[in-house]
Structure formats: structure tokens, C-alpha cells
Amino acid sequence: MVKERERWGSRSSFIFAAVGAAIGLGNVWRFPYITYRYGGGAFLIPYLIALITAGIPLMILEYSIGIKTQGAPPVALKKIWAKAEWIGWFSVVLVFVLAAYYANIMSWAVNYFYHSFTLAWGKTGPEINNFFNNVMLNKSTSPGVLGMVQWPVLLGLAITWIFIYLCLFRGVRTLGKIVYFTVGIPWLILIIMVIRGLTLPGAIEGLNYYLTPNFSALKDPIVWLAAYGQIFFTLSLAMGTLIVYASYLPEDSDITANAFITSLANCGTSFFAGFAVFSTLGYLAGSMGVTVPEVTTSGLGLAFITYPTAINLLPVASQLFGALFFLLLLTLGIDSAFSQIEPVVGSFVDKWGLKKEWILPAICIFGFIVGIPYTTRGGFYWVDIIDYFVANYGLTIVGLLECIVIGYVFGASKIRRYINSVSDVTIGPWWDIFIMVITPAILGISLIRALYKLMTEGYGGYPRWTAFTGIGLIVLLIVISFILSKSKEVTHE
């Protein structure tokens, strides 16, 4: 007996789910901080190039893999090429590692939601900075010193996982309904934050930093890899999410229009959120008498410093807006968070015919446990380090491998014919050139150059051993992927 595959309720549910998976903390937390770290306007150029040369072509590719094979990543890639199953597993284990720290950032937002009722984060720039680093996280001095678990952060983490579970256990049909809310509402509040930011004194300084290109930064391979990493992260590429979501669509579903809509809606949101963050940064710099790059050293915490500042400065009802803002940040993140778990669950279900009823809670509990070290005093540094390695090295490696498998083994033009046969908007041979030559070449070159720089300089000013831990993790995940792909399938009749 072949079990009927789960299905979305409608095409728009799928688009909302895909947009919901894409739009998340990656847009309002990660994009601003990565942009800040790599020099504002300097970063936007590689970011745009990455969107065009990898983001859109690969999104089309992943949708088509999911729709055509009707399977979660390991099964899907195996159908494309028997030897490629491990690549599917690699994307699944990567997204699991990502989910564990992603939930931790959600937990910071849960805490801020709580604190917004009293505006506990303080009033001035330095106070707000201090609240994030020294009160809430109680940061230790280095990644080597983990220290105690911070209980409120741990509690927030547990709450996040419970919500992820609740969103997923009813299956994709319900999911399709939840996402209408989790995508629509956050946009409204973002608009308020942008308007508030832009009307602050000094906003223009921040915008200058955000929008003025700096061509000399383009020489740095690290900036390029970061741009590709961010595009993968924000579009949820190379993590199985899009493959598994697309696999719940019928085989004749449109591909290209969906891909353009999702990627443009997503990157538009990031760009827009940048205005809220950088205008507020300009204000903060002015009020503290420093330049924009000097406002904070904890790039990763940028969003947790600028948004509270903007909230404090709202003319009326800051508490209410604060609570609303963090609640909405959470709704924005939650659909991304559960979209990271769905491919993991889907892969186990598809390969071993395991029952979703128990594999889902098991994975949620495991994800929670893996996330506990991040709630310690040193956890902040590890979010930074693991995020860097997963996004920049893990995801780009998967992207590169997908290009090779589809481009050369399966045949780019063959899959393009399939894409065009089901899509409203057809794509030309340019796409083959991207998948076969341009995208893999850029990814490969950036990876090698950045790796070289990493070996010689380490990462982020942390002790050198942390960089080896990061690389070690990627290697370990590859080994696990091979083991998973070699294990025998069990087909339940």
C-alpha cells in the first residue's frame, strides 16, 4: 500500500509557507548584523550579486527537486543520483544544528518580550548595551569559559521548542493556515519601526553607513563568502526546507514564479528592516558621540540593542509597542524555526517509514538538549562561531554539490525542460550556465579563498582552536551524513 503523501491546502498556502520559512530572524536579526560587521554599504553589493547568481537559480533548482521527486532531501537526492543521498543528509544535519542555535535566539526574543512590559533594558545606549551583554546573557570572557546556564534563557528555549512542536504536530495543512498570520502581521510593525527610526535625529549617519558602497571591501574573500552564506541562510537554501516543502506540492506545480516571489519578497524585507536598524544606529552613535561602527562590538546582539532603543523613543505607549514588537519577532521566527524541523522529520519518515507522531517530539526534545550549551554564559560566543561555520561553510558546500549533481550528473537542461513544462514563467539557457558554471565557480573560489584566510587568521578574534572546532564540526557532520546514507531503508508496507 502506498501511503498518500501529505499536501498543502492550496498554492497560496505553499507560497506563504515558503515565504514564512524564508522571512525570519535572518532578515531582522542576522541581515543587519552581518551587514554591520562587514561594513554596511560594502556588503550590499556582494549580497545582491549572491542573490542573483546563487539565490534565485538555486531556489528554482530546489523547488524542482522537491516537486519532481516528491521526497525529503535524502530520498530526493538519491532519486536524482544514487550516490548523492549523503548530500541530502548533510543538508538535514546542518539544518538541525542550525535549528538548535536559532531557537536560542528566539529565546532571547522571548526574554525581551517579557522585559518589554517594564522596559527593563534601560534608557541610554550604554545601558541597553549593558543589559544585553551583562544582565541577560551575563557573558563570560571567552568561548573557552562556558559557566552557568542562564535560567531565563533556558526557560525561553523550552518555550520556543514547545511552540515549534505545537505548530508542527497537526501536519502541513494546519501549517498552511498558521503562516498567514506569522507572515502578515510582522510586516505592519516593521513599518512602524522604520518610520520611527527615520525620524530620529542622526538617522542619516546610519543610513550613510548602510547605503554607501565601499568598493575596497570587495577584495576580501571573507565578505564574499559571508554574502553567499547570508543568502543561503535567509532563503533557507541548502537546508532541505525548500525541497521538503515543495515535495508536498503536486507534481505539476509552478516553480519559477514561486521562486521569484519568495526570494524577492524575502530580500526586500531584509533591505527594509535594514532601514529600521541603521537609522536607529545613526541616532545611537550621535547620542553617544561615537561613529556608527563604534556603537557596539557585539554584532550578533545588534538587533537586541537597536530595536529596544527605537521602542524607548516611541512617543506613546512604548511598553505596548515593545511587547508587540517582540511578539511579532517571535511569530516571524517561529515559522522559520519549524521549517527547520520539518525536513529532519520528513527525512526520517521518508527513509525509515517512522511514525511522525513520535519522531517529531523526539527531535524537538533532542534539539532542546543540543541547545542547552548556548544558554550558558559562554553560549553567546558559540552561537556566533557555529552560525559562522554552518552558514558560510556548511551551506555553501551543499549549494556547490547540488549544482554539480544536477548540472552534470542529472543534466541542467533536462531538469530545465521539466521546470518549464510546469511553470507559468519559463527560463532560458542562462539558467544552465548559472547552475553548471557561474554559481559553482563563485562558490568554489570563495570557499577556498576564505578557508585559506581562516587558516591563517582564525575567526572573529577568537582563539585559534575555535576555528578548528568549527571546521571539525563540518567534517563530523559530513561523516554522519555518510553513515546515515549507508544505513538500510525500512519500507513499511
- 376 DSSP β-pair partners: 149
- The CA distance from 389 to 468, in Å, is 10
Task: Give the nearer residue to ligand PHE in terms of CB position, either 26 or 74.
Answer: 26
Task: Give the nearer residue to ligand PHE in terms of CB position, either 26 or 301.
Answer: 26
Task: Give the nearer residue to ligand PHE in terms of CB position, either 236 or 423.
Answer: 236
Q: Which of 129, 182, 263, 340 binds ligand PHE (CB under 6 A)?
A: 340
By CB under 6 A, residue 234 contacts ligand PHE: yes
Q: Which 235-264 positions form the footprint of ligand PHE (CB under 6 A)?
A: 236, 239, 241
The per-residue DSSP string of 168-233 comes to HTT-HHHHHHHHHHHHHHHHHHHHHHHHHHHTSTTHHHHHHHHHS--GGGGG-HHHHHHHHHHHHH
- The CA distance from 305 to 288, in Å, is 13
Task: Give the nearer residue to ligand PHE in terms of CB position, either 25 or 284.
Answer: 25
Task: Give the nearer residue to ligand PHE in terms of CB position, either 27 or 116.
Answer: 27
Number of shown-chain residues binding ligand PHE (CB under 6 A): 16
Q: Angle formed by the axes of helices 356-371 and 85-116, to 10°?
A: 60
Closest contact distance (angstroms) between CB of 29 and ligand PHE is 8
Task: Give the nearer residue to ligand PHE in terms of CB position, either 209 or 233.
Answer: 233
Closest contact distance (angstroms) between CB of 346 and ligand PHE is 13
Q: Are 89 and 73 in contact (CB under 8 A)?
A: yes
Q: Write b or e for each residue in 179-194: b if 16 or more Cβ atoms lie within 10 A of its Cβ, otherwise e.
A: beebbeebeebbebbb
CB atoms within 10 A of CB 357: 8
By CB under 6 A, residue 269 contacts ligand PHE: no
Residue nearest to ligand PHE (CB): 26
Binding mask 12-41 for ligand PHE (x = CB under 6 A): ---------xx-xxxx--------------
| The three cell numbers locating residue 293 | 561602527
Closest contact distance (angstroms) between CB of 345 and ligand PHE is 13
Closest contact distance (angstroms) between CB of 13 and ligand PHE is 17
Closest contact distance (angstroms) between CB of 34 and ligand PHE is 11
| The three cell numbers locating residue 317 | 505607549
| Residue owning grid cell 521569484 | 260
CA atoms within 13 A on the CB side of 313: 26
By CB under 6 A, residue 95 contacts ligand PHE: yes
Q: Which residues make up the interface to ligand PHE (CB under 6 A)?
A: 21-22, 24-27, 95, 98, 233-234, 236, 239, 241, 336, 339-340
